[in-house]
Chain A
Amino acid sequence: MPEPDQVAPVAIRARRRTLGVPGKLAVGWLLLVVIAALLAPVLPLDDPNDPVGSIARQGPGTDGHVLGGDGLGRDLFSRLVWGARASLLLSVSAVILGIVIGGFLGLVAGYFRGRFDTLFVGLFDVLLSFPQLILALTLVTVLATGEGVSSTRRMVVLVFALGVVSIPVLGRIARANTLTWSQREFVLAARAMGARHRSIMFGEVLPNVLPAMFSIALLGIAVVIVAEGGLSLLGVGVRLPTPSWGNIIAEGRSELRDAPHVVLAPTVAIFLTVLALNYLGDVVRSRLDVRESAL
């Protein structure tokens, strides 16, 4: 039977798929950072913790060291790449913690409303009102400082300390989106077909809520990268000598006058990464709005 009103929406979609030059640059930079971080052990890099006296405090290009050496003469480029590994691992894990816990609580609150909503929204408010740096400082000091503490344990505590704040942020986004999506008729339709609440929540509502959470998660990763820098300056960041962008800056701080490139390189890396994440977060969000209004 012929249908008079079949329209192929291909043209519209094709236009929306393009990212634009800034978007491509952002994706390119992030890919570069992620690949470098993942491949750090196999890349032909100098040992990031091996001091070579001759390049201490020497600027970029000295003796074939692309970015020169830091205060102790360790290869700065190598430390930057290994630092990306620590910084990304920390920030992505912290945000995943927020996505999983915050997403779950937000989904339950928004779907069932009533008591769950009151309880979880209250919990989010409490979590949001913790001063993040003080909380992280306290947790790291109490749980992961001292001689016998492994750097893995330090990392786990940091992930938790920084992730706690992303729980309410992502939880609220999940809740707000769940509230609107679960009013949609397809949820009622799924119920009318006899589906269970659990499968409606995770099967029908969650896939619609995830894109919004994803855009906030990108911003969240940026926030955590910066926060890790702050913690490093306070001396409770990723455990030395393991490099992270934050503690490279923290170490280079004292020699800012003699060797500004030590602070500059990780700062630029953080700047570009945060900028790219924020930009892509906005792209994802605006893409989302378009899709919702086009429905």
Chain B
Amino acid sequence: MIGRREHVTRAPDELRPYSRRLLEVDDLATHFTTPRGKVRAVDGVSFALERGRTLGLVGESGSGKSVLSRSIMGLLPGNVERQGSVAFEDHRLDQMGPAELRSFWGTQIAMVFQDPMTSLNPVMRIGRQITEPLRFHLGMDRREAEKMALALLASVNIPEPGRRLRQYPHELSGGMRQRVVIAIALACGPKLLFADEPTTALDVTVQSQILDLLRTQQRERDMAMVLVTHDLGVVAGHTDEVAVMYAGQIVEQAPTRTLFASMRMPYTAALLQSIPRLANASHTRLDVIAGRPPDLLDPPRGCRFAPRCPYAQDRCREEPPPLQEADEPGHVYRCWFPVGTERGQEALERNLAAPVPQGVDG
């Protein structure tokens, strides 16, 4: 499995102006060496991202979405093996040493983390946390950096920015802290922002404010963004394109509209179904995806979703489906019996008719 190349069939390069392309990830694989064996957290992922565009990276916990964004940046611990290529503009991030990578972090590529409670240093004033990268990377003096920090805090809609600069993180609410984290990430004007579940730790009321803020900032700065989340609802209104990850692979990718209009992958459909709907009567049983994500030490031989899939047939359990193109441009999926096709419908009906309930793994 390692080193197997699966090329995503894309529109030929000349159709997209080269200068628009910012990030190109090709066949990226990240393996953790653990006492139990090799964990294939990311297993052959390829995608491209243009300047100013947003890619939503969706999947449940353990699908490899966070590891993927860290693999692209090169922010990984020591017990990791990474293969494949990551090209950022004309630079191969995967071939850079630590010092060279550091010169990209913060200035070209930045990251917003999940939990603003832990991603700010509790014993350091907000002001110093924002001005430090400004002074380090952009060589500003203290007064310049402070002025810039004020402007940054104001741009992420923090009231009384002057007072905030002198406060400690525990004096701010969760939503405010995440705004500060975003301000820090944006400080040096990165071209690419990874937002790793930026709203998961926040109140629902604040979530959409933060997402809107990211969206506005991104538009104003012509910055590309990878929005990592487990919530399809989050990507729906805030991304241009969505890649759904399962067990370390991209199982479906499409422009956001296309994906929601005509998803092909049963996993995507199952994710969508598992969002609770307001229209449902109260105490309606939540639709869950039965079973658990596969063990990444030893993923299933065929399709990795097959053990939990209501559409699964014998072929799914034997033969891993390649990424194939759907009718719409830019829509790829990894399934033998796709949702919304005749073949898929037949497969589903066959399973429903079978006496033994399908789709539950052991």
Chain A residue numbers with a CB within 8 Å of B172 are 6
Residues A185 and B133 in contact, CB atoms below 8 Å apart: no
The 4 closest A-B pairs by CB, nearest first: A194-B106, A194-B105, A193-B106, A185-B119
Q: Does residue A126 face the partner (Cβ distance < 8 Å to B)?
A: no
**Interchain nearest-CB distance for A227 vs B (Å):** 32
Chain B residue numbers with a CB within 8 Å of A4 are 205-206
Q: Does residue A114 face the partner (Cβ distance < 8 Å to B)?
A: yes
**Interchain nearest-CB distance for B99 vs A (Å):** 9
Q: How far is the CA of A5 from the CA of B106 in the complex (A)?
A: 29
Assess A295 versus B111: contact at CB under 8 Å? Given A3-B175, A3-B176, A6-B176. Answer: no
Q: Does residue A42 face the partner (Cβ distance < 8 Å to B)?
A: no
**Interchain nearest-CB distance for A185 vs B (Å):** 4
Chain A residue numbers with a CB within 8 Å of B132 are 193, 195, 203
Q: In chain A, what residue has the closest Cβ to B172?
A: A6
Residues A5 and B175 in contact, CB atoms below 8 Å apart: yes
Residues B113 and A189 in contact, CB atoms below 8 Å apart: yes
Q: Does residue A282 face the partner (Cβ distance < 8 Å to B)?
A: no
Residues A193 and B110 in contact, CB atoms below 8 Å apart: yes
The interface-forming segment of B22-30, B87-95, B120-128, B262-270 is: B120-128
**Interchain nearest-CB distance for B203 vs A (Å):** 6
Quick one: which of A1, A3, A191, A291 contacts B173, CB cutoff 8 A?
A3
Question: How many B residues touch the partner, as a band?
Answer: 35 or more
Residues B184 and A193 in contact, CB atoms below 8 Å apart: yes
Q: Does residue B162 face the partner (Cβ distance < 8 Å to A)?
A: no
A residues whose Cβ falls under 8 Å from a Cβ of B: 1-9, 114, 184-186, 188-196, 199, 203-204, 207-208, 291, 294-295
Q: In chain A, what residue has the closest Cβ to B73?
A: A192
Residues B103 and A194 in contact, CB atoms below 8 Å apart: yes
B186-219 Cβ-contact flags toward A at 8 Å (1 or 0): 0110000000000000010110010000000000
Residues B174 and A295 in contact, CB atoms below 8 Å apart: no
Q: How far is the CA of A2 from the CA of B73 in the complex (A)?
A: 35
24 contacts between A and B (CB under 8 A): A3-B159, A5-B174, A114-B78, A185-B118, A185-B119, A186-B119, A188-B75, A189-B111, A189-B113, A189-B181, A191-B105, A192-B110, A193-B110, A193-B132, A193-B184, A193-B185, A194-B105, A194-B106, A196-B102, A199-B136, A203-B132, A208-B122, A295-B118, A295-B122
Chain B residue numbers with a CB within 8 Å of A196 are 102
Chain B residue numbers with a CB within 8 Å of A199 are 136
Residues A193 and B118 in contact, CB atoms below 8 Å apart: no
Residues B113 and A7 in contact, CB atoms below 8 Å apart: no
**Interchain nearest-CB distance for A45 vs B (Å):** 42
Q: How far is the CA of A186 from the CA of B123 in the complex (A)?
A: 11
Q: Which residue among A5, A186, A188, A192 has the maximum number of chain B CB atoms within 10 Å of its CB? A: A192
Residues facing A in B308-346 (CB within 8 A) are none
**Interchain nearest-CB distance for A253 vs B (Å):** 47
**Interchain nearest-CB distance for B56 vs A (Å):** 20
Residues A194 and B176 in contact, CB atoms below 8 Å apart: no
- Other than the given A5-B205, A185-B118, A191-B105, 14 more pairs (CB < 8 A) read A1-B209, A3-B173, A4-B206, A6-B176, A9-B171, A114-B78, A184-B118, A185-B119, A188-B75, A189-B120, A192-B105, A194-B105, A194-B106, A196-B102
Q: Does residue B107 face the partner (Cβ distance < 8 Å to A)?
A: yes
Q: How far is the CA of A204 from the CA of B184 in the complex (A)?
A: 15
Assess A185 versus B115: contact at CB under 8 Å? Given A193-B105, A193-B110, A195-B133. Answer: yes
Q: In chain B, what residue has the closest Cβ to A295?
A: B122
Residues B170 and A192 in contact, CB atoms below 8 Å apart: no
Assess A192 versus B173: contact at CB under 8 Å? Given A114-B78, A185-B115, A207-B123. Answer: no
Assess A5 versus B206: contact at CB under 8 Å? Given A189-B119, A191-B75, A193-B105. Answer: yes
B69-109 Cβ-contact flags toward A at 8 Å (1 or 0): 00001010010000000000000000000000011111100
Q: Does residue B221 face the partner (Cβ distance < 8 Å to A)?
A: no
B135-154 Cβ-contact flags toward A at 8 Å (1 or 0): 01100000000000000000
Q: Does residue B157 face the partner (Cβ distance < 8 Å to A)?
A: yes
Quick one: which of A9, A186, A204, A294 contacts B118, CB cutoff 8 A?
A186
Chain A residue numbers with a CB within 8 Å of B118 are 184-186, 295
Q: How far is the CA of A1 from the CA of B113 in the complex (A)?
A: 23
Assess A295 versus B170: contact at CB under 8 Å? Given A189-B113, A192-B106. Answer: yes
